[in-house]
Chain A
Amino acid sequence: MQGTIRKSRLLGLVLLLLLAFLLDIAMGPVKIPLRDVLRILFSFRSGNSTWQFIVEQIRVPKACTAVLAGCGLSVGGLQMQTLFRNPLADASILGITAGASLGVATVMLAGGGMATLYAIKEMGFSGSWFVTGAACLGAAAVMLVVLILSRRISNNVMMLIIGIMIGTITLSIVSIWQYFSEPELVKDFLLWNFGSLGGVSGGQLFILGVVVFIGLTLAFLSSKMLDALLLGENYARSMGLTVQRARVIIICSTSLLAGGITAFCGPIGFIGIAVPHMTRLLFRTSSHRILIPACCLTGTLLMLLCDVISQLPGSQTVLPINIITALVGAPVVIYLLLRNKNIRAY
């Protein structure tokens, strides 16, 4: 019985997801008839070259980015919540996102001077690859520190606290930088900090796809370990699990997901916290073999809807995605909690 409900809900989610994907591609400040959108999507041809550019070069990459970010962030959040058995954990809890911010700040604020930026440009580095590369390096550096520490610490609560501390230190360095930088540069950095799905296309989208794929594969592989960890570390050990190795795999997976997505899209908050709760409440299970794919679906659906809303249908402007995820996500979580009255599975 339970199984049939779950299956039908999963199927419903898939259908909703397809609908949301289509909605995200069909809606935008430029009105394009749905028929033409579909024609461009399926035959890659249309009488109107402007529409074709908008659909192929803007809307489809943006929707794909939303799918990748939605999957990655929610699965990362689920892994952290289970690993630390803490309902407030999300993909950015270990400071990986902060590390990416530090990388971007290094490039954008460049020691606080226009002159340094200019010098960097003269050296031949430029463009969005540079920023993205720096973000990846920053995230990787923090991940390395976290991994080295995780080898020496046996306790997950300590790991959690140390992760938060590392994140705080990293963000303080960014703040110092911001404080001493020129207003224009800070503004650029602030815009990056708002998060955006619209800046990823072409080769970048491909790289993001590969990173998220690796991260998700690791997550799927770790679902058994996550199930065991839910019962407590001691119990997991008694089941024959090497807790520290499991931890390394889980941290690697989350770091790849959070670091990669933050590097390309900027920090996107809330999805990582909210989606695992929604999924658990929706599917009433704590088995990660169901939760991980369900999280992918729910996260993607929520991200696509947030993207549609952030375009403010009917207007010419766009709101930062980070604002919308929180504005839309929080009430949904509160509603679900009030209906179910308890958080399970920790």
Chain B
Amino acid sequence: MTRNTSDHCSGQAGTGRYAGRHEPEDLPGSTILTTDFRAKSPAWRLIKSYTYMIRNSRNIHFLIFFFAVVSFLAACRQPVSKGDTAAGDKGNTTDAPVFTKAVLKYAHGFLIDYHDHYKLLSVLNHAGGKTDTMKFVLVQEGTPVPEGYPGAQVIRIPVKSLVVMSSMHVAVADFAGVADRITGLGNFSFINSPLVRAAIKEGKVQQVGLDGNINNELIITMHPGILMTMSNPDASFGKYKTLMDAGVPVLPNAEWLENTPLGRAEWVKLMAALVNREGLVNKKFDSVERVYNELAQLGTKATTRPHVIIGMPFKGTWYLPAGESYQAKFLNDAGAGYQWADTKGIGSLALNFEAVAPEALKADYWMNLAQVDTKKEIVGKDPRYAGFKPFQTNGIYNNTKRVNDLGSNDYWESGAVSPDVILADLIHILHPELLPNHTLVYYKQLK
């Protein structure tokens, strides 16, 4: 059992992250049938405009051209419709499009409702006891925008080009196999994905700036299908008003507010809905979920619970993940003892250095220390840290194994959608006997 899980996990680490990148587009959702072709189709509008031109023209060539266009359109339309019906509707007799639905099990931050030719996406914010919602109507290309959703932003799907702000968004796009659709990035130096870095080198991606420095004019001229930001849905959206007025849908990705690693990773399904790849993404996520849950069972049943401290204090304040955060969940599932596991909140606790020191002095492991690579650097920050037990027993592990030459850490990129790999790393560190054959992917021991 142990052996199996371990092998599976390493496999996941090696191939899982970028698998699917070259898979073909999921067809069932990507093409569409309308109930009334003539009323809404752009082709029909084209025909109407040509009819108008012909009425006002005596030129016979126009007439010939007109018939050529009409017959060409008819020829194109016919077989696609037939094929689509055959592939898409499973016993469905109507002409409505059939989406493979994204099934959400862990994420609390968004909901997707499926309708005949559109999806209704709600991005939720549960802060302060109330639930705020931002609504988005994901309308299949070539179909009309549904009525009755005032205030909702309209996104045409499948989204063909993305402007993203954080490395997490890159990871999500990579997971869904659409990283090649990224045309704009907040900042080039935060990226790990080899595919996106190659695209940057070829000049296919533009740097659009982050937060206050967003280059609105550049983004508007790029006409992206969507702009994905990392802001809290509750935060002021004022700075994006110009972009939204210019017709660029702005979608906040609040995955960091999720309280479980799987919930955070499940935001890949939001990306799936945007590019009509629910089928593929569901399948890939299921495998991540299965491995994670198997590992979590292994970890939570461990007989010992070695104590762990997290993070690097700064100027007398020590920020530690709160008990309801996904980081705390990671520790729990990995079979770690975490002093602050029962605290409330999903963010971090700002604790007095002294309040953490007693735990740090006797903890078994010290993890996620931000940007340090050696024990010497830790002492360089503050000589007092040498007194901590993990320092003396070589129990310091940092999540910086996959930091690239730009200083960007893949833990926050591919790691965000590979919680199973991170959990395997943690279990291997805390309980080596449970996963003896695992090789650390994101973590490394500091010496």
Using a CB–CB cutoff of 8 Å, the interface residues on chain A facing chain B are 28-30, 49-50, 53-54, 57-59, 62, 113-115, 117-119, 121, 126-129, 179-180, 182-183, 188, 191-192, 196-199, 201-203, 266, 311, 316-318
Contact = CB atoms under 8 A, between A and B. Distances in A.
A179 B213 contact: yes
Interface in B190-218: 190, 210-213
Contact of B189 (A113, A126, A191, A196): A113
Interface stretch (B30-38, B79-87, B275-283, B312-320): B312-320
B380 A198 contact: no
Contact of A53 (B210, B361, B371, B379): B361
Given A183-B211, A317-B349, A191 B314 contact: yes
Given A126-B380, A128-B380, 4 more contacts: A28-B352, A53-B361, A127-B377, A203-B383
Interface string B330-358: 00000000000000000001111111011
Contacts of A128: 380-382
A62 B316 contact: yes
B387 interface: yes
A316 B380 CA distance: 26
A30 B355 contact: yes
Contacts of A311: 352
B367 to A, nearest CB: 18
Name, among B317, B351, B352, B371, the residue most crowded by chain A CB atoms within 10 Å (CB to CB): B352
Contacts of A59: 354
Contacts of B212: 179
Contacts of A126: 372, 377, 380-381
B407 A115 contact: yes
A196 B317 contact: yes
A318 B371 contact: no
A297 B62 CA distance: 98
A317 B349 CA distance: 8
A53 B387 contact: yes
Contact of B190 (A114, A179, A202): A114
Given A50-B362, A114-B408, A316-B352, A57 B315 contact: no
B337 to A, nearest CB: 17
Interface residues of B, number: 37
Nearest to B409: A114
A114 B379 CA distance: 22
Interface of B: 187, 189-190, 210-213, 314-317, 349-355, 357-358, 361-362, 371-373, 377, 379-384, 387, 403, 406-408
A180 B377 contact: no
A246 to B, nearest CB: 36
Given A196-B315, A197-B316, A127 B361 contact: no
Nearest to A121: B371
B383 A201 contact: yes
Nearest to B211: A183
Contacts of A201: 382-384
A188 B373 CA distance: 19
Contacts of B213: 179-180
Contact of A29 (B350, B354, B380): B354
Contacts of B350: 317-318
Contacts of A266: 315
Contacts of A49: 361
30 contacts: A29-B352, A29-B354, A30-B354, A30-B355, A50-B357, A50-B361, A54-B354, A57-B357, A57-B384, A57-B387, A58-B354, A58-B357, A59-B354, A118-B371, A126-B381, A128-B382, A182-B187, A183-B211, A191-B315, A196-B316, A198-B315, A198-B316, A198-B353, A199-B315, A199-B382, A316-B349, A316-B352, A317-B355, A318-B350, A318-B351
